[in-house]
Amino acid sequence: MAALLAIFANNLLPILLIAACGFALGRTTHVEARTLGRVTFNIFSPVLIFRLLTDSQLNIGRIAQMLGYTSAVFFLMGSLAYLAGRLFRLPRPILVAVVLVVATSNNGNYGMPLIGFAFGEEALAYASLYYVAIAILTNTVGVLWASLGRMDVKQALLGLLKVPMLYALGIAFVFIRTGWVIPAPLDRTITLLAGAAIPSMLILLGLELSRFAWSKHTTAMILGILLRLVAGPLMGSSLANAFGLQGAARQAGITQTAMPAAVITTVLASEYDLEPQLVTAIVFFSTLLSPLTLTPLLFLLGD
């Protein structure tokens, strides 16, 4: 028990306290979360990903392995949610909402800081790859799911060109393969911007959670939370074995699969009228309950 409390205090509590500051700010002021989200998504996060990948010097094979693992988790969790939703006879909009929140976990705002605290820089580099892959899938497949056919494949693929993290990943590939050295002024600029990424992610998480509203769809809400927090790491562990993930890659990959529902799903739910109150409730409660599942998982992965 003492070991679990230490893991919670050292790894989860700092994250929750910073998110709580964002939550309090959102409840007491009129701060626009979307503005901070755009800055984080378009500047801080891509720079952080570039910094982590170029510093870690991961080879292309390991990068491809993590990207493949993430894609498998995304599609299998979405399929599991679909089958479970059909079993419970969920109406179509609610079913799509549950599939979206179960497939898309909070790997940026929550997962990356947690993995960095718990397992260090190498694991954080793998966690950033997971985050990039989920961001790409959410902005393509996730949008297609949410739109239920109202947006064609071409539009979704064109939208992918607006995801800065994809460019950060490509540029990092070039630097890894060529061994180029970043000039000192640019290197210092990247360091400063990358350092702002994780704090802004956590404040943004709190701001988004401050929009919480209760949902009347209790069955769907409980199903979404259980699949995200319990089935997620079980699926992640099984696939980690199948993909041969070891060491820091295994720690990062499985932990990312155990993250609560992603805040971005609330945006998609509002945009496509997919029971936004239900999605917000799943995001809120899965985040609130996540220490109960993440604490023992971190203990097992770090043992």
Q: With 60 as the cut, is the pLDDT of residue 148 above it? A: no
Residues in Cβ contact with 154 at an 8 Å cutoff, skipping those fewer than 6 apart: none
Q: For the chain, how long is the longest CA-to-CA vector?
A: 59
What is the count of structural domains for the chain?
A: 1
HSE, side-chain direction, 13 A CA sphere, residue 120: 8
Q: Residue 81: inside a domain, yes or no? A: yes
| Percentage of the chain exceeding pLDDT 90 | 43
Residue 153's pLDDT band, with cuts at 50, 70 and 90, is low
Q: Tokens 């993590």 label which residue?
A: 66
Predicted confidence at residue 90, as pLDDT, reads 92
CA distances from 174 to 23, 164, 177, 264 (A): 39, 16, 5, 29
In angstroms, the first-to-last Cα distance of the chain is: 14
Distance CA 86, CA 95 (A): 8
Average pLDDT over residues 155-159: 62
Any idea of the CA torsion for 283, 107, 297, 17, to the nearest 10 degrees? -70
Residue 231 confidence (pLDDT): 96
Neighbour-count burial of 61, counting CB atoms closer than 10 A to its CB (0-12 exposed, 13-18 middle, 19+ buried) = exposed
Taking a C-beta distance cutoff of 8 angstroms, is the pair 85, 151 a contact? no
Q: Which residue in 25, 51, 59 sits closest to 192, CA to CA?
A: 51
Cα separation, 135 vs 204, in Å, equals: 16
> According to the model, what pLDDT value does residue 74 have?
96
Q: Is residue 20 part of a domain?
A: no
Residue 97 lies in a domain: yes
Tell whether 212 is covered by a domain.
Answer: yes
Give the mean pLDDT of the chain: 87
Tens of pLDDT, residue by residue over 187-233, are 999 999 988 888 888 888 888 888 776 767 889 999 999 999 999 99
In a domain, 1, yes or no: no
29 occurs within a structural domain: no
CA count, 13 A, side-chain hemisphere, 181: 3
pLDDT bin (cut points 50, 70, 90) of residue 154 is low
pLDDT interval class at 67 (50, 70, 90): very high
Residue 41 inside a domain? The answer is yes
- DSSP, res 161: T
User: What's the pLDDT at 32?
Assistant: 78
Q: What is the pLDDT of residues 75-125, one digit of tens each?
A: 999 999 999 999 999 988 899 889 999 999 999 889 999 999 999 989 998
Average pLDDT over residues 163-174: 83
Indicate if the pLDDT at residue 262 is higher than 80. yes
Q: Mean pLDDT over residues 160-181, rounded?
A: 81
Using 50, 70 and 90 to split pLDDT, how confident is the model at 160? low
228-261 pLDDT, tens digit per residue, is: 999 999 999 999 999 999 999 999 999 999 999 9
Nearest by Cα to 206 from 15, 7, 22: 22
Cβ-Cβ contacts under 8 Å for 53 (sequence gap 6 or more)? 63, 125, 128, 129, 169, 172, 176
Averaged pLDDT, 25-33:
85
CA dist., res. 4 & res. 13, Å (int): 12
Instruction: Tell me how many helices (H) and strands (E) the chain has.
Output: 17, 0
CATH of the domain at 225: 1.20.1530.20
Q: Is residue 54 part of a domain?
A: yes
User: Which residues span the domain enclosing 171?
Assistant: 34-302
pLDDT given at position 166: 79
